[in-house]
Amino acid sequence: MCRCKFTKFFRTQRIFLLRFYMIVRKQSVSLRISLTLKITNLMFQRQLTFGEAVQRALTVNYCNFSGRASLSEFWWYILFEVILNFISGFFYKLSPISYEVINVIIFLALLLPSLGLSVRRLHDINRSGWWIFLWLIPVVGWIILLIWYLKPSQPVPNEYGPVPNLIER
């Protein structure tokens, strides 16, 4: 892959790592900056394609609630669900009953992968999977979870596992 596609990703990761080391570590600023630059220059997180993300969610990690899911994996899968729901909407014109049946089948088939992917995405930003129950709080919970789902991955291993899709140079 071309290195130019990852320049924005590197900038955000460097800023995040600088903030992380400045807050957590009790070392000198120059040492923190050098550690941060060494980490980001050696590794980067590969972004999954649409097909890879859907394949992982539906086959490899169908009912997996442990580990971490990258930002690209999560949002490509969400796009897949939106496309499926859009396509199922065409069945409403044929017959409203078939539309309801198809929607229930799609919902039941994608419920476990969606929950597992959401929990693993929360793990990726170092949050417990139990935070998924914020969906039960109307509007406020939804906004909080949306903000968390949009956060970039933590570039360091955390208690839930190693960085997903990590490639070393």
Whether residue 119 is predicted with pLDDT greater than 70 in this model: the reply is: yes
Domain count, the chain: 2
Position 169 scores a pLDDT of 62
Are 40 and 56 contained in the same domain? Answer: no
Position 131 scores a pLDDT of 96
The confidence band for 142, taking pLDDT boundaries of 50, 70 and 90, is very high
What mean pLDDT comes out for the span 5-27?
A: 49
The confidence band for 43, taking pLDDT boundaries of 50, 70 and 90, is low
Are 85 and 8 contained in the same domain? Answer: no
**How much of the chain exceeds pLDDT 90, in percent?**
53
What mean pLDDT comes out for the span 46-59?
A: 92
Half-sphere exposure of 161 (CA within 13 A, CB side): 18
Are 12 and 90 contained in the same domain? Answer: no
Domain that holds residue 12: 3-44
Sign of CA dihedral 97, 99, 105, 110: negative
Residue 97 lies in a domain: yes
Position 1 scores a pLDDT of 44
Position 31 scores a pLDDT of 46
Are 34 and 62 contained in the same domain? Answer: no
Are 12 and 59 contained in the same domain? Answer: no
**Residue reference for tokens 């997903």:** 164
| Residue-averaged pLDDT of the chain | 80
Are 21 and 89 contained in the same domain? Answer: no
Residue 96 lies in a domain: yes
